[in-house]
Amino acid sequence: MRSIRVVVVDDSSYSRRTIGKMLEDMPNVEVVGYAADGEEGLRRIIDLKPDLVTLDLIMPRMDGFTLLRIIMNTHPVPVIVISSRNEDSRVFQALELGALDFVAKPTPTISEELLSIREDLQNKVRSIISLNLARIFTADHRAPVPSRADILAPRHHFSTEIQVVAIGASTGGPRALQTIFADLPASPPFAIVVSQHMPPGFTRAFADRLDRGSSFTVKEAEDGDPVRPGSALIAPGGCNLLFEKRGGEVVVSLKAPRPEHRYYPSVDAMFTSLSALFGPRMLAVVLTGMGNDGSAGVRAVKSAGGVVLAESEESAVVFGMPREAAATGLVDRIVTLGQMGDEILRMASRTEDGST
C-alpha cells in the first residue's frame, strides 16, 4: 500500500510539530510539508500535490477559509480541519466550502491537551483510504445553504404509517444531511432524529445550521424532548440519543456511551432504542461514514418490522457504514444521496400492502 502524503497547515509551530508526529506514527502516512499560513499552505499544496491536508482555520496572511475556496476550485484535495472547540460555527462553514471532516482541538492548546486528539485524528486519516474522491470533488462546494424561502411546497401525499425517520451518519454526514433536509417538505408527518458522529460542543451549531436550511424545525436534542411529527432532533455530541415512553409520549433520554460504542453518538443505540418503541412505524437511514455503526441497529429495526434505507457507494463519501448495513442482507433499498429525500417520502407514504 502506498503512503498517504500529508501537508500540515497551522500557524502554531508547536501544533505543526505535534500533529506531524501523530501522523508519522501511523503506518503508510508521510508528512511531506508544513505551512504556517494559508499563502504558504497554497504553495505547498501546489508544489507537493499531497493526498491530504490538515488545516487550521484562523491564521495570519491567508486564513483557512480562503485557502479552502482556492484549492477546492483549483487543486481539490481531501481536507481535515483541526479547529479549536470555540470555533464551532466556523467549522461548518469550512465543511460547506469542501472540507471533508474536522477534529476538535482543545482550548487552550497545550502539550498534554493537544495529544488528546491523537486517536480521533488517526481514525479520520485512516478513512482517507476509503474515500470516494469523485463524489467529494464533483459537488458544488460554493453553493450556499438554502434558506427556508427556497424550499418547495410538499408534492407528496402521506399515510401515517411511518412515524419516525432515524438517520445515522459519520464522515461526510453534515453535507449529506443538509441535502436531505433541504429536499424534505414543510411539516412532514413523521418525526426525524439524527445521530451524526461528532464531538461535544459542535452539535448545537450544527443543528442551528440545519434549521436555517430546512423548512421544518431542527434542534439539538435535550432530555425530555418529545418525538413529534414535523421536527428534527440532533443527538448532542458525546451522548447517545435514546428514547422512552413518558406520559403516553415518546421522549428523548440522553445517555453516556457504553464501552462497546466505539463511535458516538451511537447509531446502533439510537436505532435499537427506537425500534422497541415504534416497530414497523420506523424508517432507519444509514448514510456515509467509516466503520460499522448502524449495522447492529439495522438488525434490531428489521426484527421489529421496520424499514431500512442506505446510501449507495456512488454518492457516499465513505461507504463503510452503508456497506456494513447492506452486508446484513436486511436493507430494503440502496439509493444515491440525490434520491434519498424522495425515497424517504415514498417509503413514508406507503400503505399497509406496500403500495404508495
Walk along the chain (356 residues) in steps of 10 and give the mean pLDDT of each run. Answer: 88 94 94 97 97 94 95 92 76 88 75 80 81 58 41 41 95 93 93 94 91 95 97 96 95 91 91 97 95 96 96 91 96 95 88 47
**Is position 293 annotated as part of the catalytic site?**
yes
Count of beta carbons in the 10 Å neighbourhood of residue 298: 28
pTM: 0.85
For the chain, residues classed under CATH 3.40.50.180 are 148-348
| CB of 283 closer than 8 Å to CB of 310 | no
Q: Which of 83, 170, 215, 266 is catalytic?
A: 170
The crossing angle, in degrees rounded to 10, of helices 64-74 and 88-97 is: 10
Residue ranges, comma separated, of all CATH 3.40.50.2300 domains in the chain are 4-134
pLDDT at 160: 45
What pLDDT is stored for residue 200 in this prediction?
A: 84
Q: Is 197 a catalytic residue?
A: yes
CATH no. of 4-134: 3.40.50.2300
Catalytic one among 197, 211, 231, 268? 197
**Residue 1 pLDDT:** 61
CATH architecture under which domain 148-348 falls: 3-Layer(aba) Sandwich (3.40)
Active site residue 51: no
Q: According to the model, what pLDDT value does residue 133 have?
A: 61
Which of 11, 37, 183, 293 is labelled catalytic?
Answer: 293
Q: Which residues contact 52 (CB under 8 A, 6 or more apart)?
A: 4, 5, 6, 7, 77, 78, 79, 80, 125, 128
